[in-house]
Amino acid sequence: MKRIDAIFDIEREISGLGADARLAARQELSHPLVDSLHDWLLAERAKLSRHNKVAKAINYIFEKDGRWQAFTAFLDDGRICLTNNAAERALRSVALGRKSWLFAGSERGGERAAAMYTLIVTAKMNDIDPQAWLADVLARLPDMPVSRIHELLPWHWKTRPLAKAA
């Protein structure tokens, strides 16, 4: 746990920095710790019976499907977050309302509800009031040329002067 805590300590220190600064810090500070963790896990696994639960857990991260590569992807891209906490928080309300989602009406209705939920959460993640954004988008959409629809996405809409008025 101390090894993993040290990696998370670095992440807390560089939180809020730009992607390039996070990448540089990770390469300098986190990469050696992750390499050390890798070597330590392999050494510990070698000491254990293959039927041991800890050995099975260690094997799990090193299996062929790339779990170790997925875990270490944050070392090569400053935009990647070490955890998926933000995504889990965004999905929590979906999990809490899962019984309500059973009544979407049909599979197509469920797909539409999922699409709408995705748009609403995306607006929230971009610090936009979803109701104001959606009302503005629905009002402008009929007259918007297809080539400019990307301007209505939350990360673009936020910077538009009309967004403030809405």
Residue whose token pair is 């979906």: 94
Q: What is the pTM of this model?
A: 0.57
pLDDT for 63-111, tens place per residue?
877 899 989 999 999 988 888 777 777 777 666 666 666 666 778 887 8
Query: Distance between CA atoms of 143 and 140, rounded to whole angstroms?
Result: 6
- Determine contact, residues 44/29, Cβ cutoff 8 Å: no
If you average pLDDT over residues 27-48, what whole number do you get?
Answer: 95
| Boundary-marking domain end, from 75, 103, 119 | 75
User: Which of 71, 65, 73, 44 has its CA nearest to residue 56?
Assistant: 44
Query: Distance between CA atoms of 87 and 77, rounded to whole angstroms?
Result: 18
The tally of domains found in the chain comes to 2
16 and 50 share one domain:
yes
Q: Which domain holds residue 157?
A: 85-165
Residue 80 lies in a domain: no
- Determine contact, residues 152/144, Cβ cutoff 8 Å: yes
Please give the residue that has the higher pLDDT: either 93 or 148. Answer: 148
